[in-house]
Amino acid sequence: MAKIRLLDSETINQIAAGEVVERPASVVKELVENAIDANATAIAVEIKDGGIGFIRITDNGDGIDEEQVPIAFSRHATSKIRTVEDLLSVSSLGFRGEALSSIAAVSRVELFTKTRDSITGVHYVIEGGEEKELSETGIPDGTTFVVRNLFYNTPARRKFLKTATSEGSQIQELMVQFALAHPEIAFKFTNQNQVKLQTGGQHKLKEIIYEVCGRDITRELLEIDVETDMMKISGYLGKPVIGRGNRSFEHYFINGRYIKSRIVANAIEDAYQGFLMQHRYPFTVLHLTMPSHLLDVNVHPSKMELRFSDNQAVYEQLKNSIAGRLRQEELIPDVTIDKEKETAVQKTEAVQKKTGDLPQTGSDLPEDRQRGPEFSYPKNLSYISYASDVSMPEPFEKQRLSGYEERVEKKFEKLREQERETEQLKLFDHKLLDSRNASKVRIVGQVFATYWIVEFEDNMYIIDQHAAHEKVNYERMREQLKNKEMTSQQVSPPIMLTLTAAEEEKLNAFLPYFEKLGYEISSFGGMDYMVSGVPGNLYGLLEKDLLLQMLDEIDIDTGRNNETMILEKLASMSCKAAVKGGMKLSYREAEALFDELLHLENPYHCPHGRPVIISMSRQELEKKFKRIL
């Protein structure tokens, strides 16, 4: 057996650095979080070579006192916590006390910092964890970090980095998250001397979304502002029409911290269930504010994960709040008969599929999403030349805040005008699917034995009879389940099933819930099971295949509650029992179906998320026939 030895301090520091500094984006994350904690209102980030060769982060925050500078680069040095009890109520973004020492252990770092009370600032140099210089210098208030040659002394780790382009894209994604998380802070991100992201720090979250994601997404947003007994929820929800092919546009922040949480993701996606098609994901920018004692952020060195004191309560309150907001809107998509054009949303998704990168900004965007006038910070971050090779940026032009605001106002005036028009329309617009308007609705006829044409005020609506009937069946079964009125139909001879071990585990775990739906299932020895009863409204509809399909769709380890599981199965059942496309319905049957649709909370989408109704305005039709120009 090899002898056990204590590791030297250099090796210990590099091991610790490996937990915190995985790539250039890790450096940027830690230093920007420190700037935010230092009460900065403007933060500039500049990188070259994907951040591998050069990173500069400048802020106008509180700065660091001269005597505190060397201590700040020691391991486990932090101003955020004092005792183990403080870990239970951390409110700052950075708190572990390992960031600066970890970064300095694997790179060459220069620091320029000055507090507001000091006459001069501090210039500090540390390389590979070894202090090189500490001197006075004349600089403005705030802090600048320059990090060069990341992993220069650990080549084995450096070779695992991706290309400069890929590493730079990760940093850009990170800066987008910071901008969305902190609309009160002005951010500027520069990559290879090109400005990629600029925000104004004016607390206007929607305008930041416009900057980052473009016009097509911004005009399809619903504002949410809800307070529950556990949290405050604010931000924006994307309408179903801008559903995405992956989760990368589910932005959510807890107490200003960008995190990833399966509980939160499940709550968001389940709230959109019935509004989005399967395998589509919502666009959200949500800020959750919770008491710190309900959270544990001390889970992982990256601080990207956290735990809640009550997962189920967080899931339920968030899901119900989002679903409630979605149900307030009439989400009928408008259609035109123009040749379909590729939207900015589709372009962005195409770029993602091709490169794997996250949304681009600035000059990388399509022309209709290019940024407007040049940006300047609300608080000037000017610099003077330093007697070193730090290569500080040229001074930002000093401009009054009013000048900045004037340019921003001009840029976003069109967006705000559209919002005002939308709000005015809501004051006078009447909903199609409102029982009070039933007498004004006229069913015109049916086409292709599938779609019904309906006239209401100045709009033509087209209703998919299968999607509508499926939705009505789903809501009917959900109500029966709620009132314990689900019926069972006996089958003779019984259906015999031979299950796999995985299927048997799922069946045993969810047997009580299948019984609630109307199934009667019993063991027949070994891996065989006998089904002697099925839900009454599914009798004769491929009962065996449907049951096996529902077992296949169950995922035990999702964080979702049992009610959600049942509702997913109801969606499958309601689809099987619904009238199909191509089946001719009488006017009376269509009227009865439409009448039931009027009384549903969300009649706009089937349980699988497909649209039930689409609309076209009279104005659009008259344009096509050249009655109006």
Work out the average pLDDT over 505-517: 81
How high is the pLDDT of residue 423? 55
**3-class state of residue 309 by DSSP:** coil
pLDDT for 41 equals 93
Helix (H/G/I), strand (E/B), else coil: 180: helix
CB 378 within 8 A of CB 398: no
188 pLDDT above the threshold of 50 = yes
What are the tens digits of pLDDT across the range 55-111? 999 999 999 999 989 888 886 555 444 444 444 444 555 443 468 888 998 999 999
pLDDT tens column, 159-177: 889 999 999 999 999 999 9
Q: What is the pLDDT of residues 222-239, one digit of tens each?
A: 999 999 999 999 999 999
Digit-coded pLDDT (tens) for 24-50: 999 999 999 999 999 999 999 999 999
Q: What is the pLDDT of residue 35?
A: 93
Of 86, 38, 82, whose CA–CA distance to 58 is shortest?
Answer: 38
CA torsion, points 400, 406, 412, 417, in degrees to nearest 10?
A: 150
Which 3 state secondary structure label does DSSP give 63? coil
Q: Inform me whether the pLDDT recorded for 279 exceeds 90.
A: no
Q: Is 293's pLDDT higher than 60?
A: yes
Percentage of the chain exceeding pLDDT 70? 69
Per-residue confidence (pLDDT) for residue 564, from 0 to 100: 60
Closest CA to 317 of 222, 229, 223: 229
pLDDT number for residue 121:
94
- Can you name the CATH fold of 430-629? formyl-coa transferase, domain 3 (3.30.1540)
Mean pLDDT on 387-400: 40
Q: What is the pLDDT of residue 205?
A: 93
Using the CB atoms, write b or e for 529-551: b if 16+ within 10 Å: bebebbbebbbeeebeebbeebb
The predicted model scores a pTM of 0.67
**pLDDT at residue 571, rounded to an integer:** 65
What is the C-alpha separation between 331 and 321, in angstroms, rounded?
17
Helix (H) or strand (E) holding 113: strand 108-114
Domain 206-327, CATH: 3.30.230.10
Lowest mean pLDDT among 75-79, 280-284, 360-364: 360-364
Lowest mean pLDDT among 87-96, 523-532, 617-626: 87-96
Q: 611: which DSSP letter?
A: B
What are the structural domain ranges in the chain? 9-198, 206-327, 430-629
Type of residue found at 283: F
Q: Would the pLDDT of 572 be above 70?
A: no
Structure confidence by residue, pLDDT tens digits, 419-453: 655 554 444 455 666 666 667 778 888 888 888 88
The 10s digit of each residue's pLDDT in 124-152 is 999 988 899 999 999 999 999 999 999 98
Q: Do domains 206-327 and 430-629 have the same CATH topology?
A: no
Query: What pLDDT does 370 receive?
Result: 35
SS3 assignment for 18-61: HHHCCCHHHHHHHHHHHHHHCCCCEEEEEEEHHHCCEEEEEECC
What's the CATH number for 9-198? 3.30.565.10
Query: Which element (helix H / strand E) includes 502?
Result: helix 501-517
Higher pLDDT, 213 or 364: 213
151-160, 183-192, 193-202, 424-433: which has the highest mean pLDDT?
183-192
Least confident of 38-42, 166-170, 392-396, 606-610: 392-396
120/80: higher pLDDT: 120
Bin 328: left if φ > 0, else alpha if -120 < ψ < 50, else beta: alpha
Residue range 197-208: mean pLDDT, rounded? 88
> What integer best gives the mean pLDDT of the chain?
76
pLDDT band at 494, cuts 50/70/90? confident
